Amino acid sequence: MHKIVWTELASEEFEEVLWRIEEKWGVNSKNNLLDILDDCIKQLQNELLHHTFVNKKHNVKKCLVTKHNTLLFTKIEDTITILRFFVNKRKPEVF
């Protein structure tokens, strides 16, 4: 199983998304996203799904968490680093 590491930026983005969801739709919606993300991360750790490259040169791939949220990650040896977590309406620049 791969180790998961979040960058500071990804953590900040994720916390902001959680805050906005809780403010707008409540705790149940926030907890739902946490459950979905947990399943997504388990799939990443066990390499159950193939993911699309966003930047092949830097080995950056994307994982669609929900239809509204995406995370970008890279895998080096036994470590998966989550680089970004964002709302799909606000697509960030990628390297």
Which domains occur in the chain, in start order? 3-88 (3.30.2310.20)
pLDDT surpasses 60 at 32: yes
Residues 6+ apart with CB under 8 A from 63: 40, 44, 49, 51, 70, 71, 72, 73
Mean pLDDT, residues 10-20: 96
Rounded (10°) angle between helices 27-46 and 8-25: 150
Q: What is the model's pLDDT at position 1?
A: 78
Token readout for 69 is 């949220």
What is the per-residue pLDDT for 62? 93
Tens-digit pLDDT profile for residues 44-94: 988 766 888 999 999 999 999 999 999 999 999 999 999 999 998 876 665
For the residues 16-41, what does the mean pLDDT come to? 96
CA distance linking residue 18 with residue 33, whole number of Å = 8
Three-state SS string across the chain, please?
Answer: CCEEEECHHHHHHHHHHHHHHHHHHCHHHHHHHHHHHHHHHHHHHHCCCCCEEEECCCCEEEEECCCCEEEEEEEECCEEEEEEEEEHHHCCCCC
